[in-house]
Structure 1
């Protein structure tokens, strides 16, 4: 997996916007002003992507794939971080990004959801 593909996929999602958080040294992807993906590095400088994830599903992912850890600097129950050099197939990673987006989108007020769908 490479950063450009991940960024491109994140930005294809309806209403998705990108910003860069200088303090975190991370690229953030948001929908409706809420983060659904973060691309940055861990404390050792290893690249990771952090995504919102159902707690039960995140446990299964950590058991099945090397390089999937509880969310780096995020709520450990609701976020996961995935190292770029992990063995997760690209299709599964794209599904995880989409699911993270959906989890965040579903929590947005209905008015904002409608505005995004109309874009």
Structure 2
């Protein structure tokens, strides 16, 4: 199975997760606000994703032992740090509520806060792109192992 097939499976899972959220009504009524809990579920659905705690208070989502998203562990999420395309880094950080991520900005990571006012689809796209950027840097053997 190639990584494209794995990403296609991810798209199907994401579609099912989003529709399940809409059908069960567990999403807030405001369509324009990001749902960080749904984002955590989305991260968990990526092929080969692992979730662990680092630095005592952060939940880290990784693929192939490389981070692609970070959020706080306890309580409601205060925001997400994620990897961004080199070309989009400045564009994203010019938007209100999206800041260069502390300690990781030199590697083109951004910190997305609730003030960013992204809708769930755009935020899911940023998370997916972060996953893709990190996945692409893995060895081919590891990519094949993750893709199945």
TM-score (norm 1): 0.85
- Identify unmatched segments of 5+ residues in structure 2: 1-33
Q: Could you say which residue in structure 2 is the equivalent of 1:101?
A: 131
Contact 1:53 1:78 in 2 (8 A): yes
Query: Larger radius of gyration, structure 1 or 2?
Result: 2
Work out the CA distance in 1 between the residues paired with 2:51 and 2:71.
11
Whichever structure has more helix as a proportion of its residues is: 2
Work out the CA distance in 1 between the residues paired with 2:116 and 2:124.
14
Q: Which runs of 4+ in 1 moved over 3 A?
A: none
TM-score (norm 2): 0.70
1:18 aligns to 2:38 (yes or no): no
Whichever structure has more strand as a proportion of its residues is: 1
Q: Could you say which residue in structure 2 is the equivalent of 1:67?
A: 97
Work out the CA distance in 1 between the residues paired with 2:104 and 2:41.
23
Q: Could you say which residue in structure 1 is the equivalent of 2:28?
A: none
- Identify unmatched segments of 5+ residues in structure 1: none
The size of the alignment, in residue pairs, is 112
